[in-house]
Amino acid sequence: MAEDTFLADDLLRQLMSVGEVDLLVGVSSHNAADKLGEAVQAIERCFQQFFVRQRVVIVNIDGGDKEPPQDDPAASPVANPAQTAETIVPRQGITSLRTINRVTANYSAPPSPGTALRTLLAAADLLRARACAVVAPATCSLTPDSIAKLLRPAYQDKFDFVAPLYSRHKFQGLLARNLVYPMCRAVFGAAIRELYTDEWGFSGRLAASCLNQNVWHEEAIQTRPEAWMALSAISSNFRCCQTFLGEKPPAARGPATDIVEVLRQTVGTLFWCLETRPSLWLDAEPSPSVTTFGPDHELTTERSDLDPHRIFAMFRTGVTELEPILSSILHPDTHVEIKNLVAIEEGKFRFKPDLWVRTLYDFAASYHHSVINRSHLVQALAPLYRGMTHSFLLEHSDSSPAEMEASSEMLCSEFELQKPYLRERWKTKVEVTS
């Protein structure tokens, strides 16, 4: 075990009573205790339907809750080893031949996804789990089938990282579509569409590898560890795949919908990965596409009540008001082009892909050179992202899913085409005089 002093005695005692397992599913019940019961039932049904013969365990990572529920099925300190599936959920035809163990890990550290994942990886490593999945009851509508889809590629097909894929509304997930996915694909050679997600699967080998890395104190890892895990898998030549899970549930109110907070968590982590692993991407070539189980993408086109006018107004104001900050981040030519965009009439506004790519690469290089405080730098991206979003909404108001996919591919190509520009900016700092 890599971290034999990290786990609490109580958790160690629980894990030792479980012994070795084939499958492990981790649930982080932090501030989601009301949905924990449903999640545990879905996981147990998954085990009973799809993994009847396997040794399994459910690990609840409990980081505390503002309002703990009265009858929390996984809140009991542990699982009685004699407690079988039949006593937890009613019989539904096929039942598990093995005990479904349940373990609850309470950690005193401030609750964070990074701490939860680290605990889970340590548990997986100790139990020698062959395949693991992380699910989040707070944001996802879990079904036995979706959990099985995350576990099966790692357990049966020997994949090491299993990313989910979702059916989405065509105007949802624009940060992933226009920034995270194309940039990661071009820079890291990682053609994984959903790098920032609340549910994913991984192998025991990858768990052990990630656990041994000395990064857990980093803020980027504490907030969004899943993208780092995917990039670690790619960089260490682990096998990655994607699996289609169905419709993406809408995010609950809170930090997940605040664009500045989302940018800090996602783009901040992405830039941090660029910064800490330059050898991984500086000379990397685009990798072949990742194996996908199910459809590669699916878009729906229901009506939406988005307000492009407000988004454009915020872009305009942002570029004007943040001029001194943007001038220290962007290359002078890029900055001039963006300032020119502000003068364009709203209806004719287009944020061209090449300018968007150069803008992002300038931000990444400036993050590397620390031209300003890094948190401020990522926040300064918000108005420009809004500009790109507005352009996207105008351009694709009547586009079909196929057209949008073609446009997305073009953007990915642009990112790959301009990668030398990022390399150049990364290695040489542009002195800005003001």
Instruction: Give the binding site for another protein (CB under 8 A).
Output: 171-176, 196-197, 250-251, 253, 256-260, 262-263, 266, 304-307, 310-311, 313-314, 317-318, 321-322, 325, 328, 369-374, 376, 379-380, 382-383, 386, 389, 393, 433-434
Only one residue has tokens 């226009």, namely 178
Which CB, 197 or 222, lies closer to another protein?
Answer: 197
Which CB, 92 or 375, lies closer to another protein?
Answer: 375
Closest distance of CB 259 from another protein, Å: 6
Both structure tokens of 55:
């040794």
Only one residue has tokens 């629980």, namely 14
Count, residues in the chain: 434
Which CB, 258 or 296, lies closer to another protein?
Answer: 258
Closest distance of CB 317 from another protein, Å: 6
Closest distance of CB 314 from another protein, Å: 5
Which CB, 106 or 408, lies closer to another protein?
Answer: 408
Closest distance of CB 376 from another protein, Å: 5
Radius of gyration, CA atoms only, the chain: 23
Specify the pairing of strand 131-135 against strand 240-247.
unpaired
How far is residue 354's CA from residue 106's CA, in Å, rounded to a whole number? 48
Which CB, 203 or 243, lies closer to another protein?
Answer: 243
DSSP calls for 305-368: ---HHHHHHHHHHHHHHTHHHHHHHS-HHHHHHHHHHHTS-GGG----HHHHHHHHHHHHHHHH
How far is residue 165's CA from residue 346's CA, in Å, rounded to a whole number? 33
DSSP letter assigned to residue 373: -
Q: Nearest-CA neighbor of 281 among 195, 189, 198?
A: 189
Q: Nearest-CA neighbor of 426 among 324, 281, 315, 305?
A: 281
How far is residue 112's CA from residue 162's CA, in Å, rounded to a whole number? 22
Closest distance of CB 255 from another protein, Å: 11
Closest distance of CB 167 from another protein, Å: 14
Residue 208, Cβ density class (10 Å: 0-12 exposed, 13-18 middle, ≥19 buried): middle
Which CB, 357 or 393, lies closer to another protein?
Answer: 393
Q: Are 317 and 395 in contact (CB under 8 A)?
A: no
Closest distance of CB 315 from another protein, Å: 10
Closest distance of CB 11 from another protein, Å: 31
Is the alpha carbon torsion for 210, 211, 214, 215 positive or negative? Answer: positive
Q: Are 277 and 218 in contact (CB under 8 A)?
A: no
Which CB, 196 or 238, lies closer to another protein?
Answer: 196
Which CB, 32 or 52, lies closer to another protein?
Answer: 32
